[in-house]
Amino acid sequence: MAVKGRPYYGRGAARKTTSWTLVLSMLVMLSLLIVILLSLGILSIPSRKDSSKAHDLSHLAHNSLHSGGGDEESKDQWVEVISWEPRASVFHNFLSKEECEYLISIAQPHMEKSTVVDSDTGKSKDSRVRTSSGTFLARGRDKIIRNIEKKIADFTFLPVEHGEGLQVLHYEVGQKYEPHYDYFLDEFNTQNGGQRIATVLMYLSDVEEGGETVFPAAKGNISSVPWWNELSECGKGGLSVKPKMGDALLFWSMKPDATLDPSSLHGGCPVIKGNKWSSTKWIRVHEYKA
């Protein structure tokens, strides 16, 4: 069959071959032109909408514009690493003024004298090391709380489901929380959700004097913080963060290798002048069944 078909390529084939060569070379030149245009960025390969979104940073600007509780009055937000041992950073203006006031208003009617966890029985007990009053707000309680919990998850990269309910605390003049660890050294308290891995401490009010969060075991030059001269005597006993309404302090009770970090030892300095309102989110290694 192939032999029989051969004569068809006889005389006319020569002309056919040249026109085919012409078409082919034109195709080659066209693709070369496309390659050149692509490399110059004049042409671009269309990509699917979702895949281009992954590298589009404009949504970050969009997010920061609309964060802060949806009110137009949103202040400058930035994150500052304050220490690597313990790992700690401050997210400035994390909560809006409205969110702070909301948390205080729903917590205020339910404030009770704070307790600490008894490491033998796992139960709450009265204590002199913690003289504040406080209350727990159920996780996902309402829209504003859910929004705050979503922001915490975004900030920490830890899922909302790993968080305990928010605790709101109130310290009056002279009230404090002696240095302690947020992680547990007993079996009982880690049954639900495992160990506490990180803590987000949000300041709901400014404090005129005192009330700093202090890390007495932090490594590094503690006096190099810009607010050193404004710190109380207690505050100068370690690396300190001055309470500022809306700011959130994130610190990790576990190192990246998942061992406990003793440098996360921290306390609340006595309030000297004014009032201190704060809210704490403890986050577990696993899902915390609320």
Ligand X SMILES: *[C@@H]1O[C@H](CO)[C@@H](O)[C@H](O)[C@H]1NC(C)=O
The span of 75-83, 132-140, 216-224, 280-288 binding ligand X (CB under 6 A) equals 216-224
DSSP labels, 224-275: GSTTGGG--TTGGGSEEE---TT-EEEEESB-TTSSB-GGG-EEEPPEEES-
Report the nearest approach of ligand X to the CB of residue 97 (Å): 32
CA pair distance 172, 96, nearest whole angstrom: 23
Q: Does 229 bind ligand X (CB under 6 A)?
A: no
Our CB check for ligand X shows the closer of 221 and 259 to be 221
Residue 7 has, within 13 A of its CA and on its CB side, a CA count of: 1
3-class SS at 29? Answer: helix
Our CB check for ligand X shows the closer of 105 and 221 to be 221
The span of 74-82, 143-151, 219-227, 236-244 binding ligand X (CB under 6 A) equals 219-227
Instruction: Tell me the residue ranges of DSSP E strands in 33-123.
Output: 78-84, 87-92, 112-113, 115-117
Nearest Cα to Cα of residue 208 among 144, 156, 272 = 272
Report the nearest approach of ligand X to the CB of residue 236 (Å): 12
Our CB check for ligand X shows the closer of 20 and 84 to be 84
Our CB check for ligand X shows the closer of 51 and 221 to be 221
Q: Does 223 bind ligand X (CB under 6 A)?
A: yes
DSSP 139: T
Phi, psi of 93 (to 5 degrees): 55, 45
Report the nearest approach of ligand X to the CB of residue 213 (Å): 20
Number of residues located near ligand X, criterion CB under 6 A: 3
Report the nearest approach of ligand X to the CB of residue 228 (Å): 7
Phi, psi of 149 (to 5 degrees): -65, -30
Q: Does 220 bind ligand X (CB under 6 A)?
A: no
Q: Does 224 bind ligand X (CB under 6 A)?
A: yes
The span of 8-16, 220-228, 234-242, 252-260 binding ligand X (CB under 6 A) equals 220-228
Report the nearest approach of ligand X to the CB of residue 238 (Å): 14
Our CB check for ligand X shows the closer of 41 and 226 to be 226
Contact 130, 112 (CB under 8 A): no
The residue written with tokens 């607010």 in the block is 227
What is the binding site for ligand X (CB under 6 A)? 221, 223-224
